[in-house]
Amino acid sequence: MIGYMEERLRKFQEQYQNRGRLLINCPDAPGIVATVSKFLFEQGANIIESSQYSTNPQSGNFFIRIEFECPNLKEKAEEIENSFVVIANTFSMEWKFTYASVIKKTAIFVSKELHCLRELLWAWQSGDLVTDICLIISNHEDARVEAELLNIPFYHVPANKDNRSSAEQKHYQLLEEYDIDLIVLARYMQILTPNFVRRYSNKIINIHHSFLPAFVGAKPYERAYHRGVKLIGATSHYVTNDLDEGPIIEQDIHRVDHRDNVEDLKKIGRTVERNVLGRAVKWHLEDRIIIHGNKTIVF
């Protein structure tokens, strides 16, 4: 399977070798779109997708994501970025260019519940998630078979409140060894230390089995059942050191009623969880997310 996926990624890189993306966050002002569009035109680029948002045209922030094609982009990328600095400084921009041919490397953390992991692996195999899944890390052995079936390196790293520091040292070693760009917590039921979160700021995506901000923390389905909710949901968000309060990427819900017990809620919730996490990871990989404070703009 690894050979097949490597070939698929190679073909993707070849097909999209001239595809670039530009993300901008800056104070709103007249002329931003015109200036950026003119700049890309002068580089020989053709804009194929552009999405923008302003919080307030008079005094707010402006966000834009542009996807473009440019001949010989790999050779021209450094020159383009250096030339863009003048425009960025003029409009006080936070900005970045990314390139579709640079495949992000992903690590998946999981515990005993495997439905989110399986969704990610299926989307990866089908080509919906364009990434290199380099390894799967778990504090249990349950996911080993899933990994080995696809020849993905699997690492069992026991982790609990008593050995958290030593476990994270092993995590650091593995993440650096594989040069990981993105960490996905696919129902990884361990709290990460502040140092770990800071080290991978805005690079850790979690799925919480609750429609945040309701039912933060453990056992949300049990608490939702006792509260008598009529809607259950799931939330995918970037991890910060405030438990389950990082910038939200995606959410969804499903209607339930008094006939549904806790196990029914969990069963329904698993479908919501895996779909929400899959979409959030896909949007991150496609550079569709701009983080602004504790919110996200998703194009």
Q: For the whole prediction, is pTM greater than 0.75?
A: yes
In this structure, is residue 153 part of a structural domain?
yes
Asked whether residue 140 falls in the same domain as residue 247, the answer is yes
Asked whether residue 86 falls in the same domain as residue 109, the answer is no
Asked whether residue 121 falls in the same domain as residue 95, the answer is no
Average pLDDT of the chain? Answer: 94
Identify the residue with better confidence: 84 or 241.
84
**pLDDT value at position 261?**
92
Question: For 170-224, what is each residue's pLDDT tens digit?
Answer: 999 999 999 999 999 999 999 899 999 999 999 999 999 877 667 777 788 888 8
In this structure, is residue 12 part of a structural domain?
no
Asked whether residue 35 falls in the same domain as residue 183, the answer is no
Sign of CA dihedral 72, 77, 78, 81: positive
DSSP, residue by residue, 80-127: HHHHHHHHHHHTT-EEEEEETTSPPEEEEEE-S--HHHHHHHHHHHHT
**pLDDT value at position 212?**
66
Asked whether residue 75 falls in the same domain as residue 202, the answer is no
Asked whether residue 212 falls in the same domain as residue 175, the answer is yes
- Out of 79, 99, 119, pick the residue that ends a domain: 99
Can you read off the two tokens belonging to residue 4? 């097949």
Asked whether residue 111 falls in the same domain as residue 187, the answer is yes
Identify the residue with better confidence: 230 or 209.
230
Task: Indicate which CATH number applies to the domain containing 54.
Answer: 3.30.70.260
In this structure, is residue 3 part of a structural domain?
no
- As a whole number, mean pLDDT of residues 86-104 equals 98
Catalytic residues: 244
Angle formed at CA 222 by CA 220 and CA 226, multiple of 5 degrees: 115
For residue 141, pLDDT beyond 70? yes
**pLDDT value at position 211?**
72
- Out of 71, 99, 127, pick the residue that ends a domain: 99
In this structure, is residue 5 part of a structural domain?
no
Task: Write the CB contacts of 298 (distance below 8 Å, at least 6 apart in sequence).
Answer: 249, 250, 283, 288, 289
Asked whether residue 59 falls in the same domain as residue 135, the answer is no
**pLDDT value at position 59?**
81
- As a whole number, mean pLDDT of residues 15-35 equals 97
Domain that holds residue 238: 105-298
Asked whether residue 144 falls in the same domain as residue 65, the answer is no
- Number of domains comprising the chain: 2
For residue 253, pLDDT beyond 60? yes
The residue assigned the tokens 């983080």 is 291
Helices (H), 178-239: 194-199, 220-227
**pLDDT value at position 1?**
57
Task: Indicate which CATH number applies to the domain containing 232.
Answer: 3.40.50.170
**pLDDT value at position 2?**
61
In this structure, is residue 267 part of a structural domain?
yes
Identify the residue with better confidence: 135 or 213.
135
**pLDDT value at position 213?**
67
For residue 127, pLDDT beyond 70? yes
% pLDDT > 90, the chain: 83
In this structure, is residue 4 part of a structural domain?
no
Cβ atoms < 10 Å from Cβ of 102:
12
For residue 41, pLDDT beyond 70? yes
Asked whether residue 30 falls in the same domain as residue 138, the answer is no
In this structure, is residue 2 part of a structural domain?
no
Residue 96 Cα to chain centre, angstroms: 17
The residue assigned the tokens 């991150």 is 284
- As a whole number, mean pLDDT of residues 70-78 equals 97
Asked whether residue 123 falls in the same domain as residue 57, the answer is no
- Out of 75, 99, 123, pick the residue that ends a domain: 99
Phi-psi region of 187 (alpha: psi -120 to 50; beta: other; left: phi over 0): left
- As a whole number, mean pLDDT of residues 124-151 equals 96
**pLDDT value at position 225?**
87
Asked whether residue 178 falls in the same domain as residue 64, the answer is no
In this structure, is residue 23 part of a structural domain?
yes
